[in-house]
Structure 1
Amino acid sequence: MRPSLLSVSLALCLSSTAAVAAPDGEPRDFDQIVVTATRTERAISDVPNTVDVIDRARMDTLLVRDIADLFRYEPGITVGSSFGRFGLNDIRIRGLGGNRVRIQTDGIAVPDAFAIGSFSSANRNFVDLETLKRVEVVRGPTSSLYGSDALGGVVSFVTKDPSDYLRDGDTAHVGTKIGFEGANEGLFAGATAAFGGERWSGLAAVSHRQGKETESMGGIGGEGAARTQANPQSSNGRSVLGKLVFAPSDTQRFKLTVEGNEDDVETDVLSSYGFQSLTRATNTQVLGNDHQSRARITFGHELDGLSSALADGVDWQVYRQDSRTRQDSVEVRRVPSGAATIRDRREREFYFDQRSYGLQANARKTFETGSVEHALAYGIDIERTETKQKRDGRRIFLDTGVVTNAMSPDTFPVRDFPISDTTKASLYVQDEIAFAGGAFRLVPAVRVDHYRLEPEVDSIFREDNPATQVADLHETSVSPKLGFVWTFADAWSLYGGYARGFRAPPYNDVNIGFTNFQFGYTAIPNPDLKSETSDGLELGVRYSGDAAYASLSTYYTQYDDFIESTRYTGIDPVSRLMVYQSQNIADARIRGVEFKGGVYFDSFAPALAGWSLRGAAAWSRGEDRITGEALTSVDPLTATLGVAFDQAAWGAELAGRFVGRRDRLPTAPAGSIYFESPGHAVLDLYAHWNFAPGTRLNAGVFNLADRKVWQAGLVPLIAASSATLDRYTAPGRNVAVSLSVDF
């Protein structure tokens, strides 16, 4: 699909922007209230950023079960994945992902991602989407409000409250939900109970999920490196969300939240069976058993209607959050040794644990200076996190029964960086200044962050790195922002501004340490790392009418001092080892254009009541400013377009996903050409039926035409001549269904 696809999408959506009113009582997309963009409750049409909102009703309609489903129709937001064992791994916004995007649940950042080697990959996929009432995404640098790790943007998960179920004077609610996914033969079930009275209310939600590997359109099975079918997997997970709310008056609320989520995945890694050229061994069995869990407890207080010179309202919360990733791997091998063959079993264990304590406090104050209105927001964030990582293992010689903890290049247990305590303390201030009766709003903001890293060297790290000198790190960063919204005509507004982002040097890059004498290399710490930074400019125009909505924006973001982990720096003159060290070396820029719009057709004719059209598109370009090479994380032209019909009892939607050819890739090694995933168009069909009071059936058919497609964000740099390209294909035609019953 070439750029004409964007033109078609824009024309279809903008051609009807003068249409008529939407169904009575249904909120317009740009009238939805968001909090993440400004830390105050504002309609999307009043914020100076590009913001996406996916509410609970939309998640149910789209049968969302994971983060890939969640952002299926959000061009410019990509969910990464890997073939083999570890699956979904990160969320990329405008080409930037990993720990450079802040992902948070109820304002609390989810744990970090960390990966090293082939047997360890801790991701950030810690949230059960069934517990959410809304997801908000702010695109672009957002450090002025959220500090480090908001370099590329913010994904904010907002969990359900008792008030979401107790309406029209209800004092109790019970609901259940079950469903099936064809792509991975997945089953899920959940139950929710809520109660409420004059002062007390509460909520308890539990869910269970299980499934198999997500299918691809690879046709080669069996064992070995030629396999293109997904490796056999068995997964199961569960979650719980509990909330207790006490409202001693109409102006204040105390809230206690308990949340837990865990997943287990077992994988038979058939693609790693057979002869391995690097180790000269033949694998007869490769198994993975992966577990991850997250638990948090939060106590918060909201107070409104204050008569204070400092604040009209305040809220604060204290929290503790614990996460654990444990990944166990088993290899059974035959290794040639002279004329004999050694049979051994290698068992590896990887741990990545984080424990965080924090305090967040926010205040809001409105006042006037002459004819100018101010909405001041300010607050503090304090968080202390302990991070532990460890690899352990043993080698068992099956013919002799000898067991050793030496498994080249490691003698286990080892830590790849010392136990690290990080403290983040920050203060932010933002003023929303309204001129001319609110027609022009200026939004300056600034945040000051202090970051402190304190490593703790224990016996495990010291034994593996006897000469490594670790370092403390103290860093202070100032992140300004200046945004504006100008309503220059009825329903029309111009918005945009400048924002700076930063990311403090990670603990693992500052104090990484390991040495491999067999292969002649060592990795050393770098206490002189600088923070990664970004400077972003954005300009857009919105239309938000009764009948239609549209937004067209352009952005340019420059990134400086990107950290390249374990970069080769030369030969140590004493040890003669190759030296690797994390360094600030990469600068990049990403620019693009984004569109989102929709039309409601109700007043064309009474017969068109319930019909609507929605579409979105994103075009971007990114390159390394030093080498001039294209950035592999930036997607090609992407667009979505859907037409829907919705009535009280039933509805349906036909949605299309369109992706251009991925033809901007770095230069391949001499004699090789990287695979350019071809453009494609995929159609999905949804339907829902409310066949009884409180009962709703949702169904979906994905990839209606059963086309073989490669999703650009899921394809690594791989030679065009590779025989395993089909590994990275998306599922063929598949179905999903869910049934919910509320009492």
Structure 2
Amino acid sequence: MNRPTSLVSALSLALASNAHAATAADAGAGIHELQRVQVTATRSERAIADVPNTVDVIERERMDELLVRDLKDLFRYEPGIAVGSSFGRFGLGDIRVRGLGGNRVRIQTDGIPVSDAFSIGSFSNANRNFVDLDTLKRVEVVRGATSSLYGSDALGGTVSFITKDPADYLQEGKDAYFGFKLGYEGSWDGLFGGATAAFGGERWSGLVAIGHRQGQEIENQGEVGGVGSARTKPNPQDRDGRSVLSKLVFAASESRRFRLTVEGNEDNADTDLLTSQGLQALTGAFNDSVVAEDRQTRARVAFTHEMDAVDAGFADSLDWQVYRQDSETTQYTREIRSGLAPPTLRDMREREFNFDQRMYGVQANFRKGFVTGGVQHELAYGLDLARTETRQKRDGLRTFLVTGVSTPVMLPDVFPVRDFPISETTTAALYVQDEMSFVDGKLRLVPAIRVDHYKLEPDVDNIFAEDNPGVAVSDISETSVSPKLGAVWHFADDWSLFGGYSRGFRSPPYSDVNIGFTNVQFGYTAIANPELEPETSDGLEAGLRFSGDAVYASVSAYYNRYEDFIESMRFIGFNDDGLMVYQSQNIAEAKIHGVELKAGVDLGALSEKWRGWSLRGAAAWSRGEGKGPEEVEVAPDVFEEQIVTRNLDSVDPLTATLGVVYQRDAWGAELAGRFVQRKDRVSDPSYYRQGGYGVLDLYAHWEFAPGARFNVGLFNLADRKYSEAGDVPVVGGASATLDRYTSPGRNLSASLSVNW
């Protein structure tokens, strides 16, 4: 039997499309999905039909119809995009796009990247779930590498959150707006409420949006209660959060605007970890109590200047912004242990994990149109400068309850410790893109290139030095060039071909370059690796689109090859002191390919008797495999390092969605289905293979008065017991606790919104 493989662990961490579009009063208005305008794929306003990428756009109206409260709700009907979650405590995790996730997908809010994810051990997990979706007016997802425009961390794609503006509420002749929303979400007994106010005049306008949410643990369909590792019901949890988004806009003229944005978000969760209570097999101790308190905060201040009519030789329009963003995750855990011999060893163990990231940056974007011969050029170029300081610390205290004596020693740690030194990273980038239109715009070529310079400077303080005596840390200075070439050909009135090549990269992360552990008692140490290379990708994509009066459809195929994946903490041998030595190294490669489809039809445009009816659907099929060195047992107790190829656990099976919609002037309903094939391809035959399933959801909305709307959704109509791929970790197929990862049964959500 093979040993657990580090390759699989590394790649599993790494590794329809808006088919449910907003439905207007006329059922036909919602089906022209390919005409939706996006800005992420080309850094300019372009209809999806005119960009050489697969792009998803989810508008505010659609989020309200689907009662979206979190990332899993947001991408519920987006095959090819998955949101992971963990059982017990930490909740939602990363966003995976085409099988690649974690910090390899860029997540940004108004162009500013959300902080990194970082996890180490069972008590420390900083995720990237920092955005209140009620503050957004639109979400855009570009699938595939977008490093040519957004640099590092855009290896798998880019998820752009775009927040509300005063102009979204203040129509011509309207200088004030007020609205509120109240709602309930049954899957976690959640209550939420929010209010938005906007005002405006000839020059000044502003917006304030506040929100609050509270609830309990997310339900599953586990049946085993009580305490201990056999429990499959969720741990009891109390959750609450709040957010504020404020914007002040000064219009110096019709074409010039200054905008000040202040945003804050906070989430708290208190968890009674019943699954960690009882007898602990590894230590022989008995946990009387294990409780956790987790807190996440993010604050952003940005000042933006936009000019729509520069009338200069270097640009027709431009925008720039300066910003600061602070993100922090604090996680506290308290264990009370008994059953130890002698009884005086009965103790309380307190641990606190802190991950703090502060970012300062400047962004500038310029656009210029010009003609050379018979070719129309739309040139976009700009710069992106950012400096980020990242601090991580684990602290702890062990108190013997009988004697009252306390100690910071909890082997193998002597607290406080840092798992990597305080790290300052600086990125400086220049990009340029030229959208060239030929033959009256029927053929568009889009070449782009970006040059990124990345610098890492570690700061060894007393905490890191005392925990890692004699461990050297390394600076890194890297320059990466990311080219791209895309094309769109409108070869007939309603038909077009699109596709291209893109190069992606990800700079060596600070947590891999200088991760530090030295523990003489347990016989190991970790050393820095200044020779780490950026992770890279080469991607090809081609597709066909049709956008008619009654029908739209898009099908695309892609192939992505990833090289130099970084494996954290790889065993490389023994040092002169006899300690096992671990080091992060570039060792893994991966290939992911697939096909994606989305389509819709307005039945009313085909026949008057079907007026108000429409269909929309999407599907995604993909395959992925990775290879790298592994220790393979070639004889009893004899292991040899070999290059092994395995399936990627992060790649989802065939997934499809289908929606049947009926829409009238003031009300509408939709029956939506989610269908997933059994997961047959796993990295090890002994791992659990998620079963296939089909789930139906029912939505309805009613505008019962001007400015008043009621939305309701009934999820999992048949009360089906199933597990989503993103919720199931890499576990053995014989595990007795698989029900932990099941999704909620039948549940109801509703919201009421009023505005004037």
Q: Tell me which interval the TM-score lies in, with the shorter structure as reference length.
A: over 0.9
Q: How does 1:280-291 map to 2 (within 5 A)?
A: 280-291=284-295
> Which of 411, 414, 418 is equivalent to 2:414?
411
Describe the SS at the equivalent of 2:188.
coil
Describe the SS at the equivalent of 1:489.
coil
Give TM-score, length-normalised by structure 2: 0.94
* Correspondence 1:389 to 2:392: yes
Instruction: Give the count of matched residue pairs.
Output: 720
- Stretch moving more, 558-567 or 514-523: 514-523
Other-structure match for 1:703: 716
Q: How does 1:231-630 map to 2 (within 5 A)?
A: 231-334=235-338, 336-337=340-341, 340=343, 342-572=345-575, 574-626=576-628, 627-630=644-647
* Correspondence 1:678 to 2:691: yes
* Correspondence 1:221 to 2:225: yes
Q: After the TM superposition, which parts of structure 1 deviate over 4 Å for at least 4 consecutive aligned residues?
A: 21-27
Query: Which whole-Å CA distance do the structure 1 matches of 2:512 and 2:664 have between them?
Result: 55
> Which of 101, 104, 113 is equivalent to 1:97?
101
Query: Which whole-Å CA distance do the structure 1 matches of 2:403 and 2:666 have between them?
Result: 70
Give the letter for the 2:55 counterpart.
Answer: V
**8 Å CA contact retained: 1:386, 1:422:** yes
Give 1:23 deviation, angstroms: 4.7
Give the letter for the 1:513 counterpart.
Answer: G
Q: 1:259-279: CA deviations, max 9, x gaps?
A: 000000000110111111222
Query: Which whole-Å CA distance do the structure 2 matches of 1:679 and 1:90 have between them?
Result: 22
Other-structure match for 2:728: 715
Give the letter for the 1:628 counterpart.
Answer: T
Structure 2 gap segments, 5+ residues each: 1-15, 20-24, 629-643
Query: Which whole-Å CA distance do the structure 2 matches of 1:122 and 1:116 have between them?
Result: 9
Query: Which whole-Å CA distance do the structure 2 matches of 1:460 and 1:604 have between them?
Result: 70
Give 1:625 deviation, angstroms: 3.4
Query: Which whole-Å CA distance do the structure 2 matches of 1:335 and 1:316 have between them?
Result: 62
Describe the SS at the equivalent of 2:740.
helix
Give the letter for the 2:583 counterpart.
Answer: Q
Query: Which whole-Å CA distance do the structure 2 matches of 1:710 and 1:190 have between them?
Result: 31
Give 1:24 deviation, angstroms: 6.7
Query: Which whole-Å CA distance do the structure 1 matches of 2:571 and 2:319 have between them?
Result: 48
Give 1:334 deviation, angstroms: 2.0
Give 1:623 deviation, angstroms: 0.3
Q: How does 1:60-209 map to 2 (within 5 A)?
A: 60-209=64-213
Give 1:168 deviation, angstroms: 3.5
* Correspondence 1:688 to 2:701: yes
Query: Which whole-Å CA distance do the structure 2 matches of 1:51 and 1:401 have between them?
Result: 60
Give the letter for the 1:366 counterpart.
Answer: G
Query: Which whole-Å CA distance do the structure 2 matches of 1:287 and 1:299 have between them?
Result: 41
> Which of 634, 638, 644 is equivalent to 2:661?
644
**8 Å CA contact retained: 1:334, 1:341:** no
Give the letter for the 1:61 counterpart.
Answer: E
Q: 1:485-542: CA deviations, max 9, x gaps?
A: 0001111100000000000000011111111222221122111111000000000001
Describe the SS at the equivalent of 2:645.
coil
Structure 1 gap segments, 5+ residues each: 1-8, 14-20
Q: 1:190-215: CA deviations, max 9, x gaps?
A: 00000111111110000000010000
**8 Å CA contact retained: 2:31, 2:551:** no
Give 1:325 deviation, angstroms: 0.5
**8 Å CA contact retained: 2:27, 2:662:** no
**8 Å CA contact retained: 1:428, 1:448:** yes
**8 Å CA contact retained: 1:481, 1:500:** yes
Query: Which whole-Å CA distance do the structure 2 matches of 1:265 and 1:25 have between them?
Result: 41
Describe the SS at the equivalent of 2:465.
helix
Give the letter for the 1:404 counterpart.
Answer: T
**8 Å CA contact retained: 2:435, 2:445:** yes
Query: Which whole-Å CA distance do the structure 1 matches of 2:508 and 2:173 have between them?
Result: 51
Query: Which whole-Å CA distance do the structure 2 matches of 1:249 and 1:539 have between them?
Result: 43
Describe the SS at the equivalent of 1:561.
strand
Give 1:556 deviation, angstroms: 0.2
Query: Which whole-Å CA distance do the structure 2 matches of 1:23 and 1:690 have between them?
Result: 15
- Stretch moving more, 96-105 or 513-522: 513-522
Give the letter for the 2:62 counterpart.
Answer: R
Give 1:22 deviation, angstroms: 6.8
**8 Å CA contact retained: 1:641, 1:656:** yes
Q: How does 1:20-35 map to 2 (within 5 A)?
A: 23=27, 28-35=32-39
Give the letter for the 1:240 counterpart.
Answer: V
Query: Which whole-Å CA distance do the structure 2 matches of 1:651 and 1:713 have between them?
Result: 31
Give TM-score, length-normalised by structure 1: 0.95
**8 Å CA contact retained: 1:501, 1:534:** yes
Give the letter for the 1:434 counterpart.
Answer: S
Q: Identity of counterpart residues, as a percentage?
A: 66
Give the letter for the 2:117 counterpart.
Answer: A
Other-structure match for 1:3: none
Query: Which whole-Å CA distance do the structure 2 matches of 1:166 and 1:333 have between them?
Result: 59
Query: Which whole-Å CA distance do the structure 2 matches of 1:174 and 1:307 have between them?
Result: 37
Structure 1 residues 642 and 27, CA gap change in structure 2 (3 angstroms): closer
Give the letter for the 1:576 counterpart.
Answer: G
Query: Which whole-Å CA distance do the structure 2 matches of 1:540 and 1:275 have between them?
Result: 56
Structure 1 residues 200 and 217, CA gap change in structure 2 (3 angstroms): same
Describe the SS at the equivalent of 1:130.
helix
**8 Å CA contact retained: 1:335, 1:341:** no
